[in-house]
Amino acid sequence: MLTQEEIHQIEHEISLVPHKKAACIEALKVVQQHRGWVSDEDLKATAAILDMTPDELDSVATFYNLIFRRPVGRHVILLCDSISCWVMGYEGLREHLMQKLSIKYGETTPDGRFTLLPNVCLGTCDCAPALMVGGDLYQNVSPEQLDEILSKYN
């Protein structure tokens, strides 16, 4: 069941486009914003508002890597694994994160705090390596700084 607020926001997005379906990515974003991810049930409810079938909506949802169709932790860590960060040694960050959190890419810590995902170039290559935690960007990160960064997120 979507909340009134979610439905309201989705309907607002629909009002901005020529036909309902065109708002589907916005609608998925709305749901994800409220819930962190898009469950099968939420997907169906969202599809119904858009006059789409779940199949049609899921086809779009699964194309994009930042629509989460599986539960994620409270904070999603997007670690840049593209070229400049690679050159600047992002692998050190990766190893540190995996060890510290005891998870691999795509996994969530048992306490539901963090999900670790690799991400393409974050567009801050002059400050590589970089990562984002829950929407906050961190630049020129060294493995030593990671613990402090993580401690900000509960």
Partner 1 sequence: MEKPLTQHIVPGRSPLSLKEYEKVGGYQSVRKVLKEMTPAEVQTLVKNSNLRGRGGAGFNTGLKWSFVPMGDNVPRPKYLVANADEMEPGTFKDRLLLEGNPHQLIEGMIVASYAIQADISYVFLRFAYKLAAQEITKAINEAYEAGYLGKNILGSGYSLEMHLHTGVGRYMCGEETALLNALEGKRANPRAKPPFPQVSGLYGKPTIVNNVETLCCLPHIVNNGAEWFKGLSRNKSEDAGTKLYGVSGKVNKPGCWELPMGVTVRELLEEYAGGMKNDYKFRGALPGGASTDFLVEEHLDVKMDYNSVAAVGSRMGTGTMIVLDDQTCPVGFVQNLQHFFAQESCGFCTPCREGLPWVEKVLSSIDSGTGKQADMNILDFHTKYLGPGNTFCALAPGAMEPLQSALKYFREDFERHIHEQRCPWRS
Partner 2 sequence: MVTIFIDNVPYEVKPGKNLLEACLTLGMNLPYFCWHPAMGSVGACRQCAVKVFKDEADTKGKLTMSCMEPVRDGMRLSINEADAVEFRGHIIEWLMTNHPHDCAVCDEGGSCHLQDMTVMTGHNYRRYEYQKRTYRNQYLGPFLNHEMNRCIQCYRCVRYYKDYAGGHDLDVFAAHNHIYFGRSEDGVLESEFSGNLAEVCPTGVFTDKTLKQHYTRKWDLTMAPSVCQHCSVGCNITAGERYGTLRNILNRYNGEVNGYFLCDRGRFGYEFVNNPGRVRKALVRSQLPEAVNPVTAIQEAVAILRTGRVIGIGSPRASLESNYALRTLVGEENFHHGVADNDHDLADLALKILRDGPARTFSLKEVETADAVFILGEDLTNTAPMLALAVRQSVRQQPLQQVAAAKIPLWQDAAARELIQDQKGPLFIATFTDTKLDEVATATYHASPDTIARLGFAVAHYLSDNAPEMNDLTEDEQVLAQRIAMALRSAKKPMVISGCSSGSEAILKAAANVATALFEQNPATGISLTVPECNSMGLAMIGGHKLESAFEAVQNGYADTVIILENDLYRHACKTKVEEFLNTAKQVIVLDHTHHATTEKAAILLPAGAFSEADGTLVNHEGRAQRFYQVYPTPEDIQESWRWLTDLGTVMAHPQMINWHNIDDIKQAIAQELAQFKGIEGITPSANFRVAGQKIARESHRFSGRTAMFANQSVHEPKPPEDPDSPLSYTMEGFHGEAPAPVNPFFWYPGWNSAQSVNKYQEEVGGHLHHGDPGLRLIEPPKESIKHYFTVIPEHFQPIRNHLYMLPLYHIFGSEEQSTQAPAIAQRVPEPYVALSRADALELDKQEGQVLTFSIEGIVYQLQVRIDDNLTKGTAGLPKGLRGVPFAEMPAWAILNKEEPSWKNQPQIIS
Residues that bind partner 1 (CB under 8 A): 16-18, 21-26, 28-29, 59-60, 63-67, 78, 81-84, 86-88, 119-128, 132, 135-137
Is the CB of residue 109 less than 8 Å from the CB of residue 73? yes
Q: For residues 46 and 129, what is the distance between their CA atoms, to the nearest angstrom? A: 37
Per CB under 8 A, 151 contacts partner 2: no
Per CB under 8 A, 117 contacts partner 2: no
x/- binding map, residues 24-53, to partner 2, per CB under 8 A? ----------------x--x--------xx
Omega of the bond prior to 143 within 30 degrees of 0, cis? no
Sheet with 114-119, strands from edge to edge, namely 114-119, 75-80, 131-133, 136-138
Q: For residues 58 and 147, what is the distance between their CA atoms, to the nearest angstrom? A: 36
53 binds, among partner 1, partner 2, none (CB under 5 to 8 A by kind): partner 2
Per CB under 8 A, 65 contacts partner 2: yes
Min dist CB 78 to partner 1, Å, is: 7
Min dist CB 39 to partner 1, Å, is: 17
Q: For residues 15 and 117, what is the distance between their CA atoms, to the nearest angstrom? A: 33
Window contacting partner 2 (CB under 8 A); options: 55-63, 74-82, 97-105, 136-144: 55-63
Q: According to CB under 8 A, which residues from 6 to 25 bind partner 2?
A: 19
H or E stretch covering 49: helix 40-49
What SS3 state is found at 84?
helix
Contact residues: partner 2, CB under 8 A: 19, 40, 43, 52-56, 58-59, 62-65
